[in-house]
Amino acid sequence: MKVEGQATMVGVIGTGHVGLVTCVSLAEIGHRVIGYDQDPEKISQLRSGSAPFHEPGLRELLARGLASQRLSFTDDVADCVRGAKVVFICVGTPPRAGGEANLVAVERAVRDIARHADGPCVIVEKSTVPTGTAARVKATMQRENPERAAELVVVSNPEFLREGQAIQDAMRPERILIGAESAAGFETMRRLYGPLIANGSQVFEFDVSTAELAKYACNAFLALKISFINALARICEQAQADVVAIAEVMGSDPRIGRAFLDAGIGYGGSCFPKDLQAFDRVARRLGYEFPLLREVARINDEAVEAIARKINDALWNFEGKRIALLGLAFKPGTDDIRFSPALVLASKLVSEGAHVVGYDPIAEHNAKAEMPQLEVASSALDALAGASCAVVCTDWDEIKQLDLSEVRKVMAEAVVVDGRNIFDPDVMQAAGITYYPTGRPPRRVSP
């Protein structure tokens, strides 16, 4: 799966979760790629072949790219931009205090490109940005480099990768979304992604505003599905009904689909929480009030509260009690803890006096850096030893496969609150564990 004919010279600004995956996947299909990041430590790490975050398959592609010399990294943005025919902007767009996307890094990247571009070039917005950003990008380039601005084409190409399976998503994307204003923009992107398109990826070609908005629409709708099932879970808990069974019924309708109907502790990560807020602010700026988005976020906050209420129900008081959090990453397959519901729960429990001990197969260091007061154990059983309650926060296979008789043996009180519904209630009860699933009736075992 390689480009036929001439490879494209590609620059990538920002080598984080999206940028680095973009670098290694484009090099893998035969392009010549130079990644730049403002963080020089990250660049020297990447040059030595070490990935700054965990993503299955990333290390291997990084090594292959470096060995083939199609992939390199620089701490000088000029090296990244000069000679490039396509430059991807992959910098962070974190939320501002008011919820809107902070585009300072995007603007800096655009200025850098305008300053150093030395020929016709396609500038690709891969970062998730509000509708209207492409127009700002064009205006900035015009201001920074009026002679060259006409040669710089802006394209929106939002990223749909899922952390934990990002390499697979980049090498075999279900869809490639391209927003452009000119035939040259579409053509360059089609050529760039040629091998992926030939391999069956669906391509959508729209105007830039539609592409920018489509990314927010996708993330908001996925978050909406999660919050819908979590609201239903609260109702099921009152009605002694089973949300998992209802999700199966709903999911069997192809108009609804089963994905993202897993009730639990709620969504987290670097995208859904911030993109939902940013979308709400974009809608408002465009004159449309979209309270549904705020409601989705409120229900998500409530999901953590619901878990805390179950712990309270089981333990009566938190103070001084050891509570084990199983899984700290916002989802399995990644060490990303940004907006992880596990850490939201951890700070709530710590602030109420509980002795919280977390365990995660790979996110331990990131969690400790984010929340130094959190005690982190080196195995699930170590975290569980002496605990009065365990909370499943991330559905790692390792946690699904725990030996329940060992769990019961090491805990001070065998109580499991399951924020991911990974266990079978009958099996938990048979193992002598009091079990609080999400949206299903609890199983209490007499001490």
CB-neighbour burial class of residue 52 (10 A; exposed 0-12, middle 13-18, buried 19+): middle
Pairing of strands 152-156, 355-359: unpaired
Site for ligand NAD contains 100 (CB under 6 A): no
Site for ligand NAD contains 37 (CB under 6 A): yes
Question: Which CB sits closer to ligand NAD, 107 or 382?
Answer: 107
Choice from 7, 10, 12, 13 touching ligand NAD (CB under 6 A): 13
Question: Which CB sits closer to ligand NAD, 36 or 193?
Answer: 36
Among positions 271-310, residues that touch ligand NAD (CB under 6 A) are 271
Site for ligand NAD contains 39 (CB under 6 A): yes
Give me the sheet containing 9-13, strands edge to edge. 71-74, 32-36, 9-13, 86-89, 121-125, 152-156, 175-180, 202-206
Site for ligand NAD contains 270 (CB under 6 A): yes
Cα–chain center distance at 132: 23
Q: Which stretch binds ligand NAD (CB under 6 A): 31-39, 256-264, 313-321, 383-391?
A: 31-39
Question: Which CB sits closer to ligand NAD, 163 or 237?
Answer: 163
Q: How far is the CB of 304 from ligand NAD (least distance, A)?
A: 21
Among positions 120-159, residues that touch ligand NAD (CB under 6 A) are 127-128, 159
Instruction: Report angle CA 38, 74, 111 to the nearest 5 degrees.
Output: 50
Question: Which CB sits closer to ligand NAD, 160 or 206?
Answer: 160
User: Catalytic residue at 121?
Assistant: no
Choice from 90, 123, 208, 307 touching ligand NAD (CB under 6 A): 90
Choice from 100, 163, 280, 364 touching ligand NAD (CB under 6 A): 163
Q: How far is the CB of 185 from ligand NAD (least distance, A)?
A: 20
Q: How many helices (H) and strands (E) does the chain have?
A: 19, 14
CB 160 within 8 A of CB 174: yes
Instruction: Report angle CA 168, 173, 175 to the nearest 5 degrees.
Output: 160
Site for ligand NAD contains 366 (CB under 6 A): no
Provide CB contacts within 8 A for 406, sequence distance 6+: 381
C-alpha dihedral, 259 to 261 to 262 to 264, nearest 10°:
140
CB 277 within 8 A of CB 100: yes
Q: Which stretches of the chain bind ligand NAD, using CB under 6 A?
A: 13-19, 36-39, 42, 90-93, 105, 108-109, 127-128, 159, 161, 163, 270-271
Residues acting as catalytic residues: 271
